[in-house]
Structure 1
Amino acid sequence: MTEPLVFMYSGQGSQYFHMTRELYERNPRYRLWMEHCDEIASPIIGKSLLDTIFDPRRDRSDPFDSLPDSSAALVCVEYSLTRVVQELGYQPDFLLGYSLGEISAAVVAEALPLEDGVCFAVEFGRLLEQRTPRCGMLAIVGSADLLRTHAPLFTDCWVTARNFDGNFVVSGRSADVDELERALDAEQILSQRLPVDYGVHTALIDPVEEQARRLMDVLSFAPPQIPIISSATADRVDALSVDGVWAAVRQPVQFSRAVEKMTAAGGATFADLGPSATLATFVKYITARGDGSSQVSTVNRFGNDVKSMTDFRAFMTAL
């Protein structure tokens, strides 16, 4: 393989109950890493993380919308998937985080201890739940030109992510997003509600910036051992900082721009280490111009985790 290998980490909206359950049950190494994470995360969230993810009372389709619990779950799942893939012999040249996924990337890069990453994800989630208004997040299937041609519909919402040409995300207070969703439906514009109930990447979290920065002040930053690319800036992160972490959760996600910059000089292989294969799908549309890039996922929402991991190994072997 000559192209650089990029590990990608998704954020809020990609989580779901029972994610990676089959892999946990059938892959001893993944189970070992998840149990390691459970020992760290459970005292922080006040209950078993594994019991929370694999709660038998919950269906896969139920919204996993407790921000502290789902944030801890995402960091731990993405970390454990990475450890399994690294043990298979695949080492990334770059890490690309999307929103909360930037915390996962920092942990994998050893720029942030796992304990710190989980603790910050949980405490920041609690802060948003306790001190910021309930919001909604809507993924829109359509050109960003809609923001100009249908500007009045978006008056009380913020663009929080640009995923690829034909897919962007907006957020706002719950009532405003409800109204936008109805208006888009009336215009026959496709959209999907995401399980994110707080206003990350909007001005609605600005009132808790000071408290959030205090949470970040106690984090133990170290130089990244693997280069990190931020989706907030589309630039390389040479050193973690409080300003950089705040930007990751406050600024809009510029995922398409980040991928375009990474592939401007040639192709890359993008491996999705998130639970939903969301980012691999985004990359497919961004790099469709034929620059030699490729994308692959490790698991997805459909639950065939062992087959997905086998397919991942076959894909990587064929490169």
Structure 2
Amino acid sequence: MENTLVFMFSGQGSQYYQMGKALFVQHPVFQKWMLKLDKTMQEISGNSIIDQLYNEKNSVAEEFNDILYTYPATFMVEYALAQVMLESGIEPDYVLGTSMGEFASAAVAGVIEVEEIMELVIKQAQSIEYHCSQGGMLAIIHDYSLFQENSLIYNNSELASVNFDTHFVVSGRMDKLKMIEGFLKNSGIIYQMLSVSYGFHSSLIDPAASSYLSYLKNKFYQKPQIPLVSCANGTILTQLPNEYFWEIVRKPIKFPEAIRELEKEKGEKLIYLDLGPGGTLANFAKRNIDINSQSKPYTIMTPFGKDIKNFEVILKTVKNKAYNSKL
């Protein structure tokens, strides 16, 4: 019996300089799509993602959070890796995205041509950068009830996502998040400030809504050719609403609900393949899968330089375990 394969695409916060570099150098399909999408980027904005992302002066350890570059870079890397998998004969039964990772899932699902989605990505980054004040996002490793119970956190931030029962993210102004950070530090609670410059999934990005929704008004989306699981809704979508590409970064992320929907739909026997740059969703999926489930998450890209090795392991795993593949 074949297992069910899910491609997962993450959003902002886990990106870094040099992400996908080994694949870019060693895998012709990955390189082909990166160059193709970079050409689109240059035509629209006049800037090159590849020149910035793979510049030898920019190390993995340096902060990479300029939305005009991180947005398209994240999309490009995820989409290019998905094409590597597809051209290797590995086809997903479902695609799942979180936040702006839903651009990549929609592209793979054939909702709209990839060049058009690239434009949607760039325009959204430009709208947020032009209209919104900067902010931030803070991941808190604690029971998410803390958000409701602690007045300092509740009154000075907005809940962006609950990724699993002891991991949630809040968005807010940086001065407010610094106050929360001080409390967490004094309380011995583990936290991480995400590598973003804006408060996604909160009212802080509302000033960009009008212009971007106006831009989306005349867009037409095909029905997904691959079932698309949206973390903006926590459900499987058969048709995307016109405002979908705004909702994915404005609504709270419902990742646990999306995983539960898949586990219920397919009987707890899935492989979750994280095609994001940091393996974040593979970790989140692991924490949301029931202990008795036969489902397993895998990742390819990491900041630690094992992309090629991980890719080869995934190919063998797919072949050996008879996942839905044409290999």
Scaled to the shorter chain, the TM-score interval is over 0.9
Q: What percent of counterpart residues are identical?
A: 31
Distance 2:61 2:95 in 1: 29
Structure-2 residue corresponding to 1:131: 131
Distance 1:85 1:25 in 2: 16
Structure-1 residue corresponding to 2:287: 285
* Closer, same or farther: CA 218–74 of 1 in aligned 2, 3 Å: farther
Deviations 1:195-254 (A, max 9, x none): 111122111222322111012224342121111010011111111222322221110001
Runs of 5+ in structure 2 lacking a partner? Answer: 322-327
Contact 2:137 2:194 in 1 (8 A): yes
Counterpart residue identity of residue 281, structure 2? L
Structure-2 residue corresponding to 1:307: 309
Contact 2:96 2:105 in 1 (8 A): yes
Structure-1 residue corresponding to 2:79: 79
Structure-to-structure mapping, 1:200-219, within 5 angstroms = 200-219=200-219
Counterpart residue identity of residue 40, structure 1? T
Distance 1:209 1:153 in 2: 25
TM-score (norm 1): 0.96
Q: Find the partner of 2:318 among 309, 316, 319.
A: 316
Q: CA RMSD in A?
A: 1.4
Contact 2:141 2:168 in 1 (8 A): yes
| 1:308 shift after superposition | 1.3
Structure-to-structure mapping, 1:206-245, within 5 angstroms = 206-245=206-245
Structure-1 residue corresponding to 2:271: 269
Counterpart residue identity of residue 168, structure 1? F
Contact 2:216 2:243 in 1 (8 A): no
Distance 1:33 1:207 in 2: 33
Structure-2 residue corresponding to 1:111: 111
Structure-2 residue corresponding to 1:56: 56
Distance 1:258 1:151 in 2: 29
| 1:288 shift after superposition | 4.4
Distance 1:66 1:119 in 2: 17
Runs of 5+ in structure 1 lacking a partner? Answer: none
Distance 1:127 1:292 in 2: 43
Deviates more, 1:271-280 or 1:289-298: 289-298
Distance 1:213 1:203 in 2: 15
Structure-1 residue corresponding to 2:65: 65
* Closer, same or farther: CA 219–298 of 1 in aligned 2, 3 Å: farther
TM-score (norm 2): 0.94
Structure-to-structure mapping, 1:22-37, within 5 angstroms = 22-37=22-37
Contact 1:45 1:69 in 2 (8 A): no
Total equivalences in the alignment: 319
- What secondary structure does 2:148 align onto? helix
| 1:153 shift after superposition | 2.9
Structure-to-structure mapping, 1:81-230, within 5 angstroms = 81-230=81-230
Distance 2:220 2:149 in 1: 46
Counterpart residue identity of residue 134, structure 2? R
- What secondary structure does 1:312 align onto? helix
Distance 1:85 1:64 in 2: 26
Counterpart residue identity of residue 140, structure 1? I
Counterpart residue identity of residue 199, structure 1? G
**Displaced runs of 4+ in structure 1, greater than 3 A?**
none
Structure-to-structure mapping, 1:237-256, within 5 angstroms = 237-256=237-256
| 1:317 shift after superposition | 2.1
Deviates more, 1:28-37 or 1:164-173: 28-37
Distance 1:164 1:146 in 2: 13
Contact 1:116 1:219 in 2 (8 A): no
Distance 1:220 1:73 in 2: 24
Deviations 1:39-71 (A, max 9, x none): 222222322221111122211121211112111
Deviations 1:57-104 (A, max 9, x none): 211121211112111111111111001001111111111010001111
Deviations 1:22-54 (A, max 9, x none): 111111221122112222222223222211111
| 1:271 shift after superposition | 0.6
Distance 1:277 1:59 in 2: 19
- What secondary structure does 2:96 align onto? strand
* Closer, same or farther: CA 148–220 of 1 in aligned 2, 3 Å: closer
Counterpart residue identity of residue 76, structure 2? C
